[in-house]
Structure 1
Amino acid sequence: MKYLLIMHTNPVIWDSLSEEEKNGVMEGHGPFMDAIKASGEMISTAALQAPSESATVRVRGGVPVVTDGPYLEAKEYLAGYYLVECASKERAYELAAMIPDASIEGLGVEVRPIIFSEGVGG
């Protein structure tokens, strides 16, 4: 089964970390990616820019309207994800616990099953 391991971040929490702690989180992704590539469980991953770099598109009266920023105001935002394929939800939980962000107080990794996907690797 495929799972999306969703990393949310909270700028207040992230900014409260020391540079050493931030570097530990960022550098910890390398070994995690190596492990899930080696196990054959990794499908893809992406890290996303902050919401200040995003735009929202809505179609109103047949005309696209583009506004700066995310759709909703929130304290947390989607920072990135790993798309994995593994044998069970328990294994997906194990993988999520290995992501460095999960060890930071106030942050976590959401595990969501995929019910449909299409594209490379279908």
Structure 2
Amino acid sequence: MKTYLLSVYQPDGPTPPPEVLGPIMEGLAALNRELHDTGAFVFTAGLCPPDTATVIRAKDGDVLLTDGPFTEGKEHIGGFTVIQAPDLDAALRWGERMAAITTLPVEVRPFAS
């Protein structure tokens, strides 16, 4: 089994209201249960907003800490799930289901061996 990262990209801005977010979270909980049941689940986590990030840059022996995300953008990684799948096609099917539940873009990327 190969390991894959499923990253969920969400738009910058406020958290959706409960009537929108509630069904999404219920769908993700069901997907996570299925991932567990099939043995594909490794780890999942949501992330705090990008304004809580600190970027560390090392150059010429100095270290610079800056607040905020690495780049300016209109979206950011809001959460991720690490899965195991027999191949990319299987990982993509999980990613497609996650994208359908969240209605957000999901990037599927294999871990380097």
Q: TM-score range by the shorter chain?
A: 0.7 to 0.9
Partner of 2:3: 2
How many aligned positions are there? 110
Measure the CA separation in 1 of the matches of 2:10 and 2:96.
15
Partner of 1:37: 36
Query: After alignment, is 35-44 or 92-101 more displaced?
Result: 92-101
TM-score norm. by structure 2 comes to 0.86
Partner of 2:112: 115
Q: Which has the higher strand share?
A: 2
Structure 1: gaps of 5 or more residues: 117-122
Query: After alignment, is 41-50 or 18-27 more displaced?
Result: 18-27
TM-superposition CA deviations, 1:28-51 (whole Å, max 9, x none): 221111110110011111211111
Identity of aligned residues (%): 26
How many Å apart are 1:18 and its aligned residue? 5.0
SS across alignment from 2:30: helix
How many Å apart are 1:57 and its aligned residue? 0.7
TM-score norm. by structure 1 comes to 0.80
Partner of 1:119: none
Measure the CA separation in 2 of the matches of 1:93 and 1:60.
37
SS across alignment from 2:25: helix
Structure 2: gaps of 5 or more residues: none
Measure the CA separation in 2 of the matches of 1:26 and 1:64.
39
| 1:74 lines up with 2:62 in the alignment | no
Superposition pairs for residues 1-122 of structure 1, below 5 Å?
1-12=2-13, 18-99=17-98, 100-101=101-102, 104=103, 107-116=104-113
TM-superposition CA deviations, 1:69-105 (whole Å, max 9, x none): 011001010111111111121211111122221xx2x
How many Å apart are 1:54 and its aligned residue? 0.6
